[in-house]
């Protein structure tokens, strides 16, 4: 007999604390971690962005927005972030596969202040992948 445990968390965030559509023109972008799914998650734990890093970057004033990479991949999340900031249709390039699924949220996209790039690269280490945006 198979037993499964299911859970759901429900919460609210005050409107003034949400950071959606707040990326200024001139910001830079990066993917933290690699989008992985299925056996790759177990085979490559060194490429999974830890929750502690997500929380740390979420609290950083140098990071404007964080978007987990879901099953539709980096490009989809990039288009959503661009649209939320009134910049639809902008192309991007990244050393990671843009359309690979990130099923269990092993990576996330950030927009950040270009002045903080060195500190962010240092903090994220080998998990930092620049995303180059068309202007």
CA distance 131 to 110: 9
88 versus 51: which is more confidently predicted? 51
Whole-model pTM: value is 0.86
**80-119 pLDDT, tens per residue?**
999 999 987 778 999 999 999 987 789 999 999 999 999 9
128 strand-pairing partners? 32
Measured CA distances, 62 to 6, 37, 66, 102, 117 (Å): 36, 29, 11, 25, 9
The full set of domain ranges for the chain reads 25-133
Domain 25-133 CATH superfamily:
PurM-like C-terminal domain (3.90.650.10)
CA distance 85 to 83: 5
């Amino acid at each position: 007999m198979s037993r499964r445990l299911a859970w759901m968390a429900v919460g609210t965030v005050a409107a003034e604390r949400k950071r959606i559509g707040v990326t200024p023109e001139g910001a830079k972008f990066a993917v933290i971690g690699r989008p992985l799914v299925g056996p790759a998650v177990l085979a490559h734990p060194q490429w999974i962005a830890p929750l502690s890093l997500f929380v740390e970057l979420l609290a950083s004033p140098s990071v404007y927005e964080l978007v987990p990479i879901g099953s539709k991949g980096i490009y989809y999340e990039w288009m959503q972030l661009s649209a939320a900031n009134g910049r639809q249709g902008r192309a991007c390039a990244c050393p990671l596969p843009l359309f690979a699924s990130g099923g269990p949220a092993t990576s996330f996209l950030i927009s950040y202040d270009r002045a903080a790039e060195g500190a962010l690269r240092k903090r994220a280490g080998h998990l930092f992948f620049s995303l180059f945006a068309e202007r």
